Each structure stands twice: as structure tokens, then as C-alpha cells.
A and B are shown apart, each in its own frame.
Chain A
Amino acid sequence: MDMPATKEATAPAEPVATGTESDVIIETRNLTKVYRDFWGRQKVRALKALDLEVRRGEIFGLLGPNGSGKTTTMKLLLGLLFPTSGRALVFGKDASDVAKNERIGYLPEESYLYRFLNAEETLDFYGRLFDMPAKLRQERIRELIGMVNLGWARRRQLKEYSKGMARRIGLAQALINDPELIMLDEPTTGLDPIGTREMKDLILRLRDEGKTVLMCSHLLADVQDVCDRIAILYQGELKELGRVDRLLTVQDVTQIQARGLSPEAQAEIRQVIAQHGGELLSMDNPTSTLEELFLNIVRDSEARPGRRAQEKR
């Protein structure tokens, strides 16, 4: 199966596998989160001993069904939740350190914005929280409103916005500080197909600009399209981690694509291609879809709880 065009066009060279310490933007060590009730009794174990590393310049996807712990992971990384045990480090600093937020942009699952503000006021407010000088702030607001195509509605209160528009202004506020790390929680929720495409293109563009993107989603196609690496979570446990292209490669099957062969040659090709001088277009392993992989993992986890789904990466 072909990779999508955009992905091919912008796919980076080999991933930053051998990154130095400073290239690790996000690191979680044994990160665990247990939700408790008022009396401190355990309600649910949302995340179990998660170890992750996200490196500079990659798009990292957290994938999992609802309630798998993706959003919990993101909230722990943002300091919105405190870990029960383990550590969450962003830029080498503890997630509870507010200073790290200078370099982070965050788009929550739904656009949780003040509905009584208009687009300009919204961006102005968030700009002020970064202590941005007025001139720079105005410039940035103009730029971002143009980028998300909301120029025509910039004076309208957000309560009058459609879901897609709110999503776009939400993205704009996440980028107000030109962040190095962007965390996107379900970035394509509520967007129409064109909006989804634009969002994905934007994510890729951000990566090309050298930014690191951490996104979580349960929309597999989105993840497959844009992510360099993914982690699949299921019931709070890490089930799979690796490069998307590798994860989707079916190792024990070879796929050959050929053109310009006579029917005889086609008959013979099954024996020896090279002897007949046909043009070999590709010879590689076919990929499954992410959906297939995902469902396999979920099924496997349900059949054998507590086991990492696939040993090979």
C-alpha cells in the first residue's frame, strides 16, 4: 500500500533515533496515575508505569481507545494532573514547573475558551499571559488569525462560533507563543474533511519548521497520516511503541509491483524476475493498515491481559 502523498513528500530522513540528551523533549519515567475519590480510595488506575521519550522534531502520536490514558498522559505532562508515582519531564524540567509552559502550546480536546471574548480578545489575553510586548502580540494575532482563516469573524464572540471555527481559534491560541513543543489533544475532532486535511498539513508544516508535536487521537487515519512514531495505550498500559512505517510493515510477506511485462513474462516472473529483464518497480513488504494493527492489539490485550502485544518493533 502506498503511503499518502503528503507523508511521502515531507517524510523526514531517518528518525532521530540516536538523539543526544537535549534532543529528548518529553520523558516519562514509570509514570503512574491513580484516580481517587474524596476519601482517597482508589477509583481507577488510569496510567500504569508509562515510559516514553519524545524527541525533538518528531510527530509523536498517542493512540488508544477511549479511556486508555492518552489524555491523562497529556494532562500529566502539562501539570494539569499530578502523577501518583513516577516522573513526567518536559524539556528536562518537572511537569509541575510553570516555566516550561513558555515553550509549550496546547490545544485541548475541546476548545475550552472564554465564550464571551472574541477571536482577537482571546488571542490578546493568551498573548498577555506570555508577557509578550504589545507590538509583537498584535503582529502575532494578525498572523495567526490569517493562518486559521478567521479574519472575517475576528470580532465575533466565540459563543457564536461553529465547532470548527472554535477549533481553529483554539489552535491559534496554542501557537500564540511560537512554541517549540505543541501538544494536540484530538486535533481533528469536530473538523470537516477539508478542515481535517488542513489541520494535518499544518501539523506536518510545524514539524518541518523543527517543532515537536505530541498528539493524541483515536482517529487512526489521522495518526497514520502524520505521525512519525506512535505509542498505543490500552487500559493505561503501553502496548506498542515505534515508527509508524515499521509497525505497519508485514515482515514475512514480499510484495512486487511490475510494469511492461508480456503475459508470458508475467507467467514466468513468478519463477525468476530478473532473467526476463522486466523493470522491477518495487519489491518490499506490504503494510497493513493501522486500523488492523490497532484492532489486533486490542484483541490480543483482551485475550492476554498485562502482556505487551508484539515483541518485535
Chain B
Amino acid sequence: MVLEREILPFWVWLLPRVDSDGVLHLGALLLFFLIVVGLAVVSVFLGYLRMMILQGPGEGFYAVAKSIATAISRDFPQTRMGRILAMARLAIQESLRRRVLVAFFVFAVVLLFAGWFLDPQSDHPARLYLGFVLSSAEPMILILAILLSVFSLPNDIKNHTIYTVVTKPVRASEIVLGRILGFCTILTFMLVVMCAVSYVFVIRGLDHTHTVHLDDMVPLGAAGDEAVSWTGETSRDAHHRHEITIGPDGFGQTDRQMDHEHSVWIVGEGDDQQVMIGPPRGALVARVPIYGTLRFKDRTGRPGQGISVGKEWTYRQYIEGGSLAAGVWTFDGITPERYPEGYLPLEMTLGVFRTYKGDIVSPVLGALTVKNPSTGLSSEPIPFGARDFVTLSHQIPQQLRAIDADGTLRDVDLFEDLVDEQGRTEIWVSCEEPAQYFGMAQADLYIRGPDRSFAWNFVKGYMGIWLQMIIITCFGVMFSTFLSGPVAMVATFMVYMVGMFKEFIMGLATGELPGGGPVESLLRTALQMNITIELDMGPVIDRVVPAIDRVLLFFMWVAATIFPDFGVFNTSRFVAYGFNISGHLLAQQLVMAGAFVVVLSIYGYFFLKSREVAA
């Protein structure tokens, strides 16, 4: 699975730090406060500007000061849960009246017809099913969140029902919070049902069994021996069949097909003996990868970079086969206590780039070496065969053979000899076939910790959607306090789009991506001018266009900075690819969503409070 951004431990993410390159990172908390202070200053200034135009400088200042003072001294402290709940109840009743539950039927229909879209012969059916349910639930609930949240308040104002509400002792904060709470409650209820239904859909969709008769099995071992093992094939069900091996104890398992395997055992005696096959195993997992840090050795064995094989994206770098080039992962905290089974469980998914095809079915050979980073002692190379993006599992045993400085082989202990005093060890991966390449990124090789519950991981995947839904609802309600319904809808949708493509927009705004700003791009598009050509349209245009673009890009930068990064919340691929969503990521998501709820509620309050609802 591609993991473009490293998931930082929660506290590292939250607090300021200086990284290994000496670069200062502010941390989420400080950044949040800086943004809040910046927004507050700008908001107060704009508010004052508006009031100054309407009422003059003195009166305007008084009005702004008064509204802030009222908020802090009266309205916020006097906000009551009872009234928020009353407003929330109303929002729920309103949603139900607007037949929001129809969405269930839409979702049910989508699942019913899912069979049309899902390829039953896929090599990774679990990935397909999980990706499908999560990626269909997400837009559905987010569209609902937008539609519910943006029209409610403008409708109340348009129908004047707001008159009978705001003439009660209800604070603007309670109207905003009540709506957020109400819509989130009903949407949460819907999401929970969707989560449960899609879980059942996935489990049932992947569930299958095979049949096999003992007569079809081939006994292994000499006749007359007591212990006889068998091999054979299962029936073809769900578009695949497995090979079976059953040991002398009557227990065995199938090979791995379509990301799963089955347990197999023999029951009965004599002629009544039957082969039983268990449910599929290993398809729905929540792996806990323990990541190391990756560095590269170039073809001469010196520290350097991997090479690009012509793909534009620099995420994965390639090492050349048959050279000294290697990818080196360094892992921390390798102790026998943490790996009591006595081996180091590795998983690795490499990109394989072939410069000649030849036999493309056979894997490309590579080698793993375990090395002590302090002493330099390294194990004998462990060979493996890699196919393009096929996950390989390796158990590095505790007892290994290593090559001494004098070139002799001797037995070594993984934890004692190949791990240094700080608990670090290095895994070197090299490609053994000349002119073939292995592509690797930091997340491609990891130590696999004990698996977590898949069901809980599935729920965590849905929590990502849930938190996005909450943020979208907050934006919708906030916009609806001062915009009409349709405009608020467009605004909320824009926030979502900016959030989805935050990195891209940031890249444009900071000039990392070529092509200039909006005006320049428009010119280039109209004139069919390649982005690599200098903009050469005379001295005036050459100056004016970038100047306008700088202003526009600044606003894009501001939007990309303050709007939520929905990429962080989209964890469906973790679930689909069978990776555990770490608690650190979940904590970051929760804190971010909480911050947005607070800030957007406050904005909603001020917008609604400063609005003449009867105007």
C-alpha cells in the first residue's frame, strides 16, 4: 500500500519539534493557535470594516467590541445544553420529515447491484469489496451532510420560522450547535446502519467453502507407514480452487489463493472419513506494520539515491540488479521480548521493473540481509523471488549464519549479534538479476506485529468517514448562517474539493507545480502554450499576469492552509489493503475534527448573531 505521508506518533504530530534535518516543525497545536489568532485578527478587522462603513468609525468600533464582549460575557456562558438538545431534536425531526432515510434504500440498491461492478475473479476480492463499500458509503453520507446542513437555517429564515425561535431566550450559539448536533446525530445513525450492513455484505460476499473427497486426495509416504499425509485439490468455487496438504495428524491447510486460505482436517474413521474445509482465513485482516526508515546505496555501494525508471511520481525509487545498489531499512526496538516467537516477521511488497521481458512469469530474484548497524556484522543473504507488487512474507529466524570479518561463516543469534545495543537492526534488500530493478519506498517493507481485530479496523475506517461528515456538517451549518441555501451548498462543496485536493492546491499555490497561477494557466490554455515555455507576451502582460496570480495564489494558499485535509481522514484504503489504522492517526483525526467543530461553531455564532434575521 502506498503510504505517501509518514504517520507521526500523536505527540510528535501535536507538539513542535526539530527533525533530523534541523528543520523546525511547528506541530499541529501551535499551528492551530497561529491560524486561530490569524483568523481572529482578520475577522475582527473585516467585521470592523463593515460596521465602520455602515455606522462610522466610532459606532463601528463600539458595535464590534460589544458583540465580542456579549459573546464572551453572556452568550457563551449562558449556553445551555437543554436548549441545544431542543434545537438538535428539531433538526432530527426536520431531517426525518425531509425523508433523509430514503438514502438507506439508495445504499441498499447500490449493494444489491454491486455484483454488476465487482469483478468476482479479482486476485484481491477483499480489497475490492472493502474498497467498494467504503467508497460508496463516503460520498453518499457526505452529500447527505451537505444537503441537510446547508438548507435548514436559510429555509427557517425564508419561511420566517426563525422569528418564533430567536424571540425565545435561545442563543445563536445554541441554534448553531443544536443544528450541528442534530444533523450529526441522524447522519451518525445512518452511518452506523450503513457500516453494519456493509460489514455483513463484505463478510457474506467473501464467505465460501469448497468440497473435496478423500478419494481424490493423493496419499504421500510409503504404504504401510502409520503416518500418511495427503495432497489434492479442492473443488472450484467462487472462481478459484486451492491445493491442499494434510499432515499425518489429519490437519492441514490450503494454499493461498485470492488473499486467503482455509483450514482443512479429516473427520471420521475408516470408510466414513471426510475432508472438512473451514471458512476462508486471512482475507480480512488488520495488519500492524512496524515501519523502519529507508535509505539507499547506489550501484557502487555508496550512500545515495535510488533511480527513477521513468515514472513521474518520485514516491518509489528503484535499485539496479546485479550491482551494489540496495535499499536499507533500519528498525528500532528489536528485542526478544517484543518478538517472543523467536523470529522477525517481515512483509515486503516490491515494485519489479524489468528491462527485458524474457520469462515474465518467474519472479525476479533478490536477497535479504540482516545487518548489525554498529558492528557491521551481516547475515548470509536470504534469497527471495519478487513479483511486481505481490506481497511476500518472510520470517527471519533467530538462528542465522553470518559472514565474519575474516570471511568465515558462523552461527549467530539474531537478537544478540545482529541487533546493536540501541535495539537497532538493518535489513538490506538487493536485486540479484542484472538489468532488472526493484522499486521500493519506506512503507514497502515492514515488520508485521500481531494482527488487530478486522471488525474494529473496519469501524475505524468508517470513523474516518464519520469525522469528515462532522466537519462537512459544521461547514454547511456555518455557511448557512450567512449565505442562502444553494450558495452555502456550493461553498461547502468547494471546501470539500479543496480538502480533497489539498496537496495539489498547495503545490500550485507554492509554485512547486509548474504552469503559473490561474490567469497564466488560462492564458496558456487559450493560447495552447506549453507550460515549459516562458510566458513572453510583452512587458505589460508579463508583469501584470504574475502579479494578479500572486494575489490569487495567496488566497489559494490560505484556503489550502485553513481548510481541512480530507486526505488524512480517508482511511478506506487502510481497511481495504488490510492494514491497521493506527491509534495515532485516529487520535490526530479526532483532534483535527474537534478543532474544526469548535472554530466553525464560533464563526457560525458570530455570523448568525450579527445577522438581521428579519431583514
A interface residues, Cβ below 8 angstroms from B: 35-36, 40, 75, 78-82, 96-99, 101-102, 104, 106, 108, 110, 112-114, 116-117, 121, 125-126, 128-131, 170, 173, 177
Chain A proximity mask over B580-615: 1 for CB below 8 Å, otherwise 0:
000000000000000000000000000000001111
Which bracket fits the contact residues of B? 20 to 34
**Min distance, Cβ B405 to any Cβ of chain A, angstroms:** 81
Cβ A106 vs Cβ B167 within 8 A: yes
**Min distance, Cβ A14 to any Cβ of chain B, angstroms:** 32
Give Cα A82 to B614, complex, Å. 9
Give Cα A104 to B171, complex, Å. 15
Cβ B86 vs Cβ A128 within 8 A: yes
Q: Which of B88-96, B126-134, B542-550 contacts A (4 or more CB under 8 A)?
A: B88-96
Cβ B612 vs Cβ A81 within 8 A: yes
**Min distance, Cβ B579 to any Cβ of chain A, angstroms:** 45
Cβ B80 vs Cβ A131 within 8 A: yes
B528 lies within 8 A of chain A by Cβ:
no
Which residues of A are found within 8 Å of B86, using beta-carbon distances? 125, 128-129
**Min distance, Cβ B339 to any Cβ of chain A, angstroms:** 58
B361 lies within 8 A of chain A by Cβ:
no
11 contacts between A and B (CB under 8 A): A79-B167, A81-B612, A81-B615, A97-B74, A106-B163, A112-B160, A114-B90, A114-B161, A116-B94, A125-B90, A131-B83
Give Cα A110 to B164, complex, Å. 11
Given contacts A75-B614, A80-B614, A125-B86, contact A130 B54 (CB under 8 A): no
Give Cα A75 to B169, complex, Å. 15
Give Cα A96 to B614, complex, Å. 13
Residue of B nearest to A131 (CB): B82
Which residues of A are found within 8 Å of B78, using beta-carbon distances? 98-99
B165 lies within 8 A of chain A by Cβ:
yes
Cβ B170 vs Cβ A129 within 8 A: yes
Residue of A nearest to B66 (CB): A96
Cβ A129 vs Cβ B169 within 8 A: yes
Residue of B nearest to A104 (CB): B167
B70, B83, B93, B612: which contacts A129 (Cβ < 8 A)?
Answer: B83
A101, A117, A125: which contacts B167 (Cβ < 8 A)?
Answer: A101
B166 lies within 8 A of chain A by Cβ:
yes
Which residues of A are found within 8 Å of B160, using beta-carbon distances? 108, 110, 112
Cβ B168 vs Cβ A129 within 8 A: yes
Cβ A80 vs Cβ B80 within 8 A: no
Which residues of B are found within 8 Å of A110, using beta-carbon distances? 160
Residues B9-67 near A (CB distance < 8 A): 53-54
B202 lies within 8 A of chain A by Cβ:
no
Given contacts A75-B614, A79-B166, A130-B169, contact A112 B80 (CB under 8 A): no
Given contacts A75-B614, A173-B164, contact A128 B82 (CB under 8 A): yes
Residue of B nearest to A127 (CB): B86
Which residues of B are found within 8 Å of A129, using beta-carbon distances? 83, 86, 165, 168-170
Give Cα A233 to B29, complex, Å. 57
**Min distance, Cβ B53 to any Cβ of chain A, angstroms:** 6
**Min distance, Cβ B605 to any Cβ of chain A, angstroms:** 12
Select the residue from A99, A101, A125 with max chain B CB neighbours within 10 A: A125
Give Cα A102 to B90, complex, Å. 20
Cβ A101 vs Cβ B614 within 8 A: no
B311 lies within 8 A of chain A by Cβ:
no
Give Cα A104 to B169, complex, Å. 9
Cβ A116 vs Cβ B83 within 8 A: no
**Min distance, Cβ B606 to any Cβ of chain A, angstroms:** 14
Residues B66-80 near A (CB distance < 8 A): 70, 74-75, 78, 80
Which residues of A are found within 8 Å of B171, using beta-carbon distances? 98
Cβ B615 vs Cβ A130 within 8 A: no
B85 lies within 8 A of chain A by Cβ:
yes
Cβ A121 vs Cβ B85 within 8 A: no
Cβ B94 vs Cβ A114 within 8 A: yes
Cβ B53 vs Cβ A128 within 8 A: no
Q: Kindly list the 4 A-B residue pairs having the minimum CB-CB distance in the complex, ordered from nearest.
A: A128-B86, A80-B614, A116-B97, A129-B168
A81, A113, A116: which contacts B614 (Cβ < 8 A)?
Answer: A81
Which residues of B are found within 8 Å of A80, using beta-carbon distances? 163, 166-167, 612-614
B159 lies within 8 A of chain A by Cβ:
yes
Which residues of A are found within 8 Å of B70, using beta-carbon distances? 96-97
Can you name 16 extra interface pairs (CB under 8 A) apart from A36-B54, A80-B166, A96-B70? A79-B166, A80-B163, A80-B167, A98-B171, A101-B168, A106-B164, A106-B167, A112-B159, A112-B162, A116-B97, A117-B90, A125-B89, A128-B86, A129-B86, A129-B165, A131-B82
**Min distance, Cβ A19 to any Cβ of chain B, angstroms:** 25
**Min distance, Cβ A85 to any Cβ of chain B, angstroms:** 8
Which residues of B are found within 8 Å of A106, using beta-carbon distances? 163-164, 167
Given contacts A79-B166, A112-B160, A116-B94, contact A40 B82 (CB under 8 A): no
Give Cα A27 to B249, complex, Å. 96
Which residues of B are found within 8 Å of A125, using beta-carbon distances? 86, 89-90
Which residues of A are found within 8 Å of B164, using beta-carbon distances? 106, 108, 112-113, 126, 170, 173
Cβ A98 vs Cβ B75 within 8 A: yes
Chain A proximity mask over B138-168: 1 for CB below 8 Å, otherwise 0:
0000000000000000000001111111111
Cβ A128 vs Cβ B97 within 8 A: no
Give Cα A36 to B80, complex, Å. 35
Give Cα A75 to B163, complex, Å. 9
Cβ A126 vs Cβ B93 within 8 A: no
Give Cα A110 to B159, complex, Å. 10
B83, B90, B163: which contacts A112 (Cβ < 8 A)?
Answer: B163
Which residues of B are found within 8 Å of A78, using beta-carbon distances? 163, 167
Give Cα A104 to B97, complex, Å. 30
Cβ A98 vs Cβ B169 within 8 A: yes
Which residues of B are found within 8 Å of A131, using beta-carbon distances? 80, 82-83, 169
